[in-house]
Amino acid sequence: MDADILKTVLYISLVACTVLAAAAVDFKVKFLRQRKKNYFLNRDRERYAETIFASKDGYFAFVYPDDAIKDPRKFVRERCSRRLAVMLNLKNGTQSSFDDVLNVLYKEDALKFKKYVALMQEEGILFEDTFTIKATKRSVHVFGARVNGADGNLYCDMLWFRDLSKEQIKIEELTAQSSKKDEKIQILEDLIDNIKTPVYLKNQEGKLEAYNKKYAEISGFSQKTGMTDATEKTKWQKLSDELSQTAVQTNQIQKQDVQIVTNGEARYFEMNENPFHTHGHLDQIGTVGQLIDVSELYEEKRHFKVHQNAHLGVLSALKTAFAIFDTQSELIFYNQSFADLWQLTPEDLKNKLSYVSFLNIIRDKRMLPDVTDFKEYRQNEEKLFSNLIEPKEDLLHLPDGKTLRRLVATHPNGVIFAYEDVSDKLEAERTINELLSVQKNILDNVSEAVLVFSQSGHLKYFNPAYIKLFDADAIKFQNLPNSREVFDMQKKYFTKVESWANLEQHILKHIFETYAPFKLEEDNGVILEVTPFVLADETIMVSYKSANKDD
């Protein structure tokens, strides 16, 4: 009996020990699991805390108790972050209260901020606003929000503070830059709008993107509204689109004259479409266009054409031979005298006759002046079309004995050639020169002193006898002085007269007005008989010879 009881007691004790051992093992396992869980919870809490501390924004938190109480706001704890303490320069650092935060703001901002917070705490209303710190005049942006748990428990009310000083400085810088750009844009707009020439810009699709005030006036639409897709384009605007498209395709400037009616007046413009790479992209080509008013030039060209035709009509009627060769040295005008002079046939003139062909034709007809090297002569003649600056005059001595005076000058259409037969004139000049030479030889050898004056009173000739008679300065006479200077040199022979001025006036009157003979008495008593003659060429010859007093 006792043994059975003892066995039962031992059995129960063994069972109890086993249960206790199992419970101890289970407790230890749970304990280790909980400690591990607490470790990770604490680590996550520290991580989240440090993450919040690392934020560039500062925060102020109203932390509510975890216990479920009737009015948790009475037991709220305030927490200030390090970043916020630095941002607002709070003396108490992280131990600062909400009142400390309010004290750094202006009074009006503080009252408004306090109302925001009250509404957030009472009704959970979020808010967002900007406030100014009194000491630094820096702005801070505040965002207030309530934080609840997943189970609906109230955790805290958070106030996030962001320093706007950097953003504000950046905004101010960007605003200043924007203002400067606006000023530059305005300057450029003023510049382009005050250009009298209409200018405009088209994108790569050929759509009008920008234009100045003058273009708007010519186009007949408001500068603000401009051209829309519904606007019907005029003929010149369609032409502009075609030129613009060609300029884009060829990447070369396109030009064309166009007539535009503006303010009820038809004017002429030179339309230019100049391609350019839009926004610096090589694959995007737009065009800048301009309309240059050439109305006055167009009118001048018209008048010039009229005068030119009239001029050519006059040249056609003259006996002097005229021909005009253009810049390509092709004959574009000639009169009948030119064709007759060079014996040119209709066959010669049927096609555009080049200057080289003209030289070859007159050479074949033996009408070209004799030259040793025709090739060199022809090359020199061709240079007239590129080197001629001033009119050139020369004489052409033809094989048939004729002498032509040739004048070559530039012409708006090229080079003009004028030919005049001066054979008779040259022959007459030779004859006259021979007669003058004979006359001069005679006068040089006569004993009488002789002077010859032009109608204007300038000395044209004197003979040695006159130099000897008045002991004149031959060098001064070679400069051909005027009549008063000539007679002033005689003054030393007439010092006894009462007035030389009166005597000189008497001499000039008889020689150049009355052409009447008169006498002069020198200081030594010699009487000179002075006789003026009017010659055939209207020059005046004056002869001096000695005469007796009785005569």
Q: Which residues contact 345 (CB under 8 A, 6 or more apart)?
A: none
Q: Going edge to edge, which strands form the sheet with 392-397? A: 331-334, 321-326, 414-421, 403-411, 392-397
Q: Which two tokens stand for residue 410?
A: 């530039």
Angle between helices 374-382 and 355-364 (to 10 degrees): 150
- The residue range of the domain holding 308 is 303-421
3-state secondary structure of 198: coil
- Give a yes or no: residue 30 inside a domain: no
* Euclidean distance between CA atoms 464 and 521, whole angstroms: 21
- Give a yes or no: residue 174 inside a domain: no
Residues 385 and 416 in one domain: yes
Q: Which two tokens stand for residue 227?
A: 């051209």
**Length of the chain (residues):** 551
Residues 277 and 334 in one domain: no
Q: Tell me the residue type at 90.
A: L
Residues 144 and 62 in one domain: yes
pLDDT at residue 36, rounded to an integer: 63
3-state secondary structure of 320: coil
Residues 61 and 155 in one domain: yes
* Chosen domain end from 421, 454, 477: 421
Residues 278 and 326 in one domain: no
Which ranges constitute the DSSP H helices of 124-268?
165-193, 213-219, 235-250
Residues 288 and 320 in one domain: no
Residues 268 and 220 in one domain: yes
Note the Cα 401 to chain centre separation in Å: 60
pLDDT at residue 40, rounded to an integer: 57
- Give a yes or no: residue 189 inside a domain: no
- Give a yes or no: residue 113 inside a domain: yes
- Give a yes or no: residue 19 inside a domain: no
Q: Tell me the residue type at 337.
A: S
Separation in Å, CA 7 to CA 15, 17, 225: 12, 15, 114
DSSP at 172 = H
236-280 confidence digits (pLDDT tens): 888 888 888 888 888 888 888 888 887 777 888 888 988 888 766
- Give a yes or no: residue 452 inside a domain: yes
331-334 and 392-397 as β-strands: parallel, antiparallel, unpaired? unpaired
394-449 confidence digits (pLDDT tens): 998 988 888 899 999 988 888 999 998 888 776 666 765 666 676 677 677 777 88
pLDDT at residue 280, rounded to an integer: 67
pLDDT at residue 69, rounded to an integer: 56
Residues 339 and 275 in one domain: no
- Give a yes or no: residue 5 inside a domain: no
Q: How many structural domains are present in the chain?
A: 4
* 394 in Cβ contact with 380 (< 8 Å): no
Measured from the Cβ of residue 365, the count of other Cβ atoms closer than 10 Å reads: 12
* Chosen domain end from 251, 270, 293: 293
Residues 281 and 307 in one domain: no
Residues 213 and 266 in one domain: yes
- Give a yes or no: residue 374 inside a domain: yes
Separation in Å, CA 433 to CA 148, 333, 430, 455, 503: 132, 38, 5, 20, 37
Measured from the Cβ of residue 142, the count of other Cβ atoms closer than 10 Å reads: 22
* Chosen domain end from 262, 293, 324: 293
Residues 361 and 387 in one domain: yes
Q: Which residues contact 60 (CB under 8 A, 6 or more apart)?
A: 78, 79, 80, 81, 84, 98, 101, 158, 159, 161
Q: Which two tokens stand for residue 97?
A: 């209260």
pLDDT at residue 514, rounded to an integer: 85
Give me the average pLDDT of each 10-residue run along the chain (551 residues): 72 77 74 66 57 75 75 78 92 93 95 94 92 90 88 85 81 82 85 84 84 84 62 82 87 87 82 82 80 79 57 55 90 89 87 89 89 90 89 90 90 88 73 64 77 86 85 80 85 86 88 87 86 84 77 50
Rg for the chain (alpha carbons), in Å? 59
236-259 burial code (b ≥16 CB/10 A, e <16): bbeebbebbeebbeeeeebeeebe
Type and span of the H or E element at 98: helix 98-103
* Euclidean distance between CA atoms 96 and 87, whole angstroms: 13
CATH number at residue 389: 3.30.450.20
3-state secondary structure of 159: strand
Average pLDDT of the chain to the nearest whole number: 82
Residues 331 and 289 in one domain: no
Backbone angles phi, psi at 544, to 5 degrees: -120, 130
